[in-house]
Structure 1
Amino acid sequence: MFRSLRSACVALALLVPAAAMAQSAQKPTAQKPNILYIVADDLGWADVGFHGSEISTPTIDQLANEGAALDQFYVQPMCTPTRAALLTGRYPMRYGLQSFVILPEQTYGIPLDEKLLPQLLKEAGYDTAIIGKWHLGHADRKLWPSQRGFDYQYGGLIGEIDYNTHKIQGVTDWYRNEKKVDEPGYVTTLLGKDAVRYIQAHDTARPMFMYLAFTAPHTPFQAPKEYVDRFKSIGDPNRRTYAAMVNAMDDQIKAVLAALQKKGMRENTLIVFHSDNGGTRSATFAGQIHTEGKLPASNAPFRDGKGSLYEGGTRAVALANWPGHIKAGKVDQPLHVVDMLPTLVARAGASTAGTKPLDGSDVWQTISTGAPSPRKEIVYNIEMFRGAVRQGDWKLFWRTTLPSQVELYNIAKDPGETKNLAAENQPIVAELQKRIDDLAKEMKPSLFFQATFKSYLGRNAPAPAFPNDDAFFTQGD
């Protein structure tokens, strides 16, 4: 009997760990997702196929149709502020980047006391890479991507370069791991190919965060002939080239997705795509490289474009895609680019420790299931001469420079902002003006205007303010 009992105990002892192992196999530990974050530059709302454009964007369309098309995704009205908002989870007015962009001759950047998204993800075990445009500080190495949490860097540091020469004002702005690179090639193609190479070499034992920041379709309007020839039916030459630039970007995204699939990473990769602001409709914001002819971007049905606080400047083409995790369909809920840091950090199992108070919140349920957004307010921007804020369906635009201008719109009923309802809704106007004024009291002075005034009062430095490369790279870290 004792022998039988002992045999039974041994059998039970063997079965228990086997059962535990089987149970463990059935419920594997959650794997951190790879994150591919793609930002287009000055892409018009109406200039993708899934918004009805004649421009062919089959890869972007597929990502939107199989994922969440984010119909109310708000960004800042210009490049530098949007990228800063993304990487900090905070409104740019908090740290002086609310106005315009960093020009080649300017020496400021995103303040060093702001802790950025790649730093948070790196602390959580991610390999971090930026491939493409930085535009958050270039005159001091302390402001460069590798000092701000990126393990790998490739692309330009300033905002605008020639697509073929990679130069601005005669100076090359093209770097790999912060060392200048002189290589031929069309910028969009080079960025896509480098992203593919990075994925091919990636160690899948670690999760990947890739910030793929295309310069397309920002000015100057340049594209390879093979792409321009695809749009012979478009009469306007700038629109034809612009379409070619968008299509070339779509092709490179396709190549990146194929690389993820081949590497076995696609199913566990969360992809976000959006523009940094609306398409350019005003020559004031068309860039420093001179552009002839009509500006080609379309933000229809929204008003105005880049640089403006109207919907056309701030409501961006956007989508999110993660197979098996994001429900396919339109998400018509208000979201803001500052929400992306806390949302991504939560998915990565990372921590926001060390960041300053965030303006964004975790909006994963809205993105993944279409649930109502926790965001009840959109702060379009707060500057010393203007501000705009939306609460619920009501949006107030307030230009404070003389002659001052106050406009109130019901965005749900009038997304094109055609009917100013301020006169008949004074209590709402007063409430939203107070909100803008209160936010303005929290605002840091604009680093752009400080730098601009300094350059005119003192030494004017028209050339790009890069450090001297030879001396610079011998100084070490």
Structure 2
Amino acid sequence: MPHRGAYRSLLGLACLAGCLSSATSSTAAQDAPRPHIIHIVSDDQGWRDVGFHGSPDIRTPHLDKLAATGARLERFYVTPLCTPTRAALLTGRYTFRYGLQSFVIPASGTYGLPTDERLLPQALKDAGYDTAALGKWHVGHADRKFWPLQRGFDHHYGYLASEIDYFTHEVVGVPDWWRDNEPIREEGYSTTLLGDEAARIIRGHDPARPLYLYLAFNAPHSPYQAPREYLVRCADIADPTRRTYAAMIAAMDDQIGRVVEALDQSGMRERTLILFHSDNGGLRNPKIAGQVPAEPVADNSPLRGGKGSLYEGGSRVVALANWPGRIGAGTTVDGLIHVVDLYPTLVTLAGGRLDGGKPLDGMDVWGAINRGGPSPRTEVVYNIEPSAAAIRRGDWKLVWRVSLPSSAELYNLADDPSETTDLAAKRPDEVAALQGRVRELAADMVPPLFMPEAMNASLKLPPAFPTAREPRRADDPAKLSPTD
């Protein structure tokens, strides 16, 4: 074939470019001092629900300042749901490789992130970091082997399961508030309590020792609850549910401001990398709100879909990075970054080793973050599970639903970021190529851990008869009516 030589030449150039990008990124990481790392994650926050993305009604002055003096990560991808994103963040590996790709771990769930996975805090501890996890965990709660202190964190404060009441700190009426493996009872709004703890840790920390602080807020996940002072601050928002949602984000933003203030006061700020992103897109489908019913009021525009969806609104999330003197102020990073990339990027910055665990899916993207250079990533896996998958390579994205009636949708995200025009019928070659890549990846898929547990739980439920009434005795002469 006459084009084969040209193809090989292009492939060689692509490989060379990837090697140069990785080498440049590694060099940049080696030139940087080992930073303190403050890793902040919000919960179910919409793409547009932040000031620096142009929200007309939600005000986030502290996040806006971090974005203005740092880098906006405009193509930062996670998975469409909470547990999978947190697992991918901690492992640097796609969740289909260890069975956490489907749904989230429910409150009654007994499984968790497999213990043969080496997690980010373990790698950072090996590199000499002090580690702390605050807030939401949600990668295993039924067995202590899944808990933060057993997975590389020196300190944990917060909750373990899925969603809690912000004031009582209960999940489905059961207390879920912990400090270092011990249950505690405290009064206060959970967002404020997490900010208190983060500021306390920072102020009491020895600046000479590198710190990794994972601060996972439950805001603005349902149930929608906020202190009165924040509801008053957002009184101009007419819709009461949207008003409460905005108040929750405002409360979280204030606590992020307190974290930055504590860094300044402790003399750690100039040596601290702050990362912020949501765990998935904002809620648009009330059926997947969680255990507490919630009205979908998040704004992911102009992206399509939201939490739980394979469209962009489910996985492309608000994100930023800030490190004074190391990340240029006002930088916009348009290169692809996936949450699995944080593991190799942070461990490399920390001077740690990447060879202590299983093969990573993540890539070192520090060169893209700190200079706005090209990202080595050209592919994004949104999710792969038995019933559906979505993948992006270059500008082309496939959304493939295998369950009957099956469907395959194709979008060019460069031309159509809102996914309004399905090009599958016009570009069957692209569809076939992307489906081939999904099959290749799916060959390594572990069956979802959620499925057998959900099946077993449903089989143990009592029968769903109509409204119960007193049974008749066998010798009762009364005749049954036609409606009986």
User: For 2:253, what is the secondary structure of its paired residue?
Assistant: helix
Q: Work out the CA distance in 1 between the residues paired with 2:391 and 2:293.
A: 33
Contact 2:162 2:171 in 1 (8 A): no
Q: Work out the CA distance in 1 between the residues paired with 2:128 and 2:336.
A: 31
User: For 1:104, what is the secondary structure of its paired residue?
Assistant: coil
Matching residue of 1:283 = 286
Matching residue of 1:448 = 450
Instruction: Tell me whether 1:94 sits opposite 2:93 in the alignment.
Output: no
Give the letter aligned to residue 395 of structure 2: D
Matching residue of 1:21 = none
Identity among equivalent positions (%) equals: 60
Matching residue of 1:11 = none
> Gapped runs of 5+ residues in structure 1?
1-28, 461-477
- Displacement after TM superposition at 1:178 (Å): 1.0
Return the match for 2:401 from 399, 402, 410: 399
- Displacement after TM superposition at 1:119 (Å): 0.4
Matching residue of 2:6 = none
Contact 2:132 2:156 in 1 (8 A): yes
Q: Which moved more, 1:351-360 or 1:125-134?
A: 351-360
Q: Work out the CA distance in 2 between the residues paired with 1:145 and 1:410.
A: 40
Matching residue of 1:68 = 71
Q: Work out the CA distance in 1 between the residues paired with 2:337 and 2:171.
A: 34
Matching residue of 1:131 = 134
Compared CA separation, residues 30 and 434, structure 1 to 2 (3 A): closer
Return the match for 1:161 from 159, 164, 168: 164
Matching residue of 1:299 = 300
Matching residue of 2:312 = 311
Q: TM-score, normalised by structure 1?
A: 0.89
Q: Which moved more, 1:206-215 or 1:435-444?
A: 435-444
Matching residue of 1:330 = 332
Instruction: Tell me whether 1:412 sits opposite 2:414 in the alignment.
Output: yes
Instruction: Tell me whether 1:221 sits opposite 2:221 in the alignment.
Output: no
Matching residue of 1:340 = 342
Q: Work out the CA distance in 1 between the residues paired with 2:360 and 2:296.
A: 36
Return the match for 2:276 from 273, 284, 289: 273
Q: Work out the CA distance in 2 between the residues paired with 1:197 and 1:335.
A: 32
Q: TM-score, normalised by structure 2?
A: 0.88
Give the letter aligned to residue 342 of structure 2: M
Matching residue of 1:243 = 246
Q: Work out the CA distance in 1 between the residues paired with 2:273 and 2:59.
A: 23
User: For 1:407, what is the secondary structure of its paired residue?
Assistant: strand
Q: Work out the CA distance in 1 between the residues paired with 2:293 and 2:337.
A: 34
User: For 2:296, what is the secondary structure of its paired residue?
Assistant: coil
Matching residue of 2:376 = 374
Return the match for 1:38 from 37, 40, 49: 40
Q: Work out the CA distance in 2 between the residues paired with 1:205 and 1:167.
A: 38
Give the letter aligned to residue 220 of structure 1: P
Q: Which moved more, 1:238-247 or 1:280-289?
A: 280-289
Matching residue of 1:116 = 119
Q: Deviations over 1:45-99 (max 9, x none)?
A: 0000000012110110111111110010000000000000001000000000001
Q: Deviations over 1:339-377 (max 9, x none)?
A: 000000011001123210000010000011111110010
Q: Work out the CA distance in 2 between the residues paired with 1:348 and 1:208.
A: 10
Matching residue of 1:436 = 438
User: For 2:291, what is the secondary structure of its paired residue?
Assistant: coil
Give the letter aligned to residue 367 of structure 1: I
- Displacement after TM superposition at 1:30 (Å): 6.5
Instruction: Tell me whether 1:386 sits opposite 2:396 in the alignment.
Output: no
Q: Work out the CA distance in 2 between the residues paired with 1:30 and 1:243.
A: 37
Aligned length: 430
- Displacement after TM superposition at 1:201 (Å): 1.3
Q: Deviations over 1:92-131 (max 9, x none)?
A: 0000000110001010000000000000001111110001
Matching residue of 1:10 = none
Q: Work out the CA distance in 1 between the residues paired with 2:414 and 2:171.
A: 42
Q: Deviations over 1:297-316 (max 9, x none)?
A: 00000001000010000001
Give the letter aligned to residue 303 of structure 2: F
User: For 1:429, what is the secondary structure of its paired residue?
Assistant: helix
Give the letter aligned to residue 341 of structure 1: Y
Matching residue of 2:24 = none
Compared CA separation, residues 67 and 459, structure 1 to 2 (3 A): same
Q: Work out the CA distance in 2 between the residues paired with 1:327 and 1:451.
A: 47
Matching residue of 1:465 = none
Give the letter aligned to residue 395 of structure 1: K
- Displacement after TM superposition at 1:33 (Å): 0.7
- Displacement after TM superposition at 1:422 (Å): 0.4
User: For 2:203, what is the secondary structure of its paired residue?
Assistant: helix
Matching residue of 1:144 = 147
- Displacement after TM superposition at 1:204 (Å): 1.9
Give the letter aligned to residue 49 of structure 1: G
Give the letter aligned to residue 196 of structure 1: A
Q: Work out the CA distance in 1 between the residues paired with 2:279 and 2:32.
A: 32
Give the letter aligned to residue 375 of structure 1: R
User: For 2:328, what is the secondary structure of its paired residue?
Assistant: coil
Give the letter aligned to residue 314 of structure 2: G
User: For 2:274, what is the secondary structure of its paired residue?
Assistant: strand
User: For 2:138, what is the secondary structure of its paired residue?
Assistant: coil
Contact 2:310 2:382 in 1 (8 A): yes
Matching residue of 2:183 = 180
- Displacement after TM superposition at 1:175 (Å): 0.2
Instruction: Tell me whether 1:257 sits opposite 2:260 in the alignment.
Output: yes
- Displacement after TM superposition at 1:458 (Å): 4.2
Matching residue of 1:365 = 367
Return the match for 2:237 from 214, 223, 234: 234
Q: Work out the CA distance in 1 between the residues paired with 2:208 and 2:429.
A: 57
After superposition, the CA RMSD in angstroms is 1.1
Compared CA separation, residues 363 and 68, structure 1 to 2 (3 A): same
Compared CA separation, residues 254 and 162, structure 1 to 2 (3 A): same
Q: Work out the CA distance in 2 between the residues paired with 1:101 and 1:89.
A: 18
Matching residue of 1:193 = 196
Matching residue of 2:53 = 51
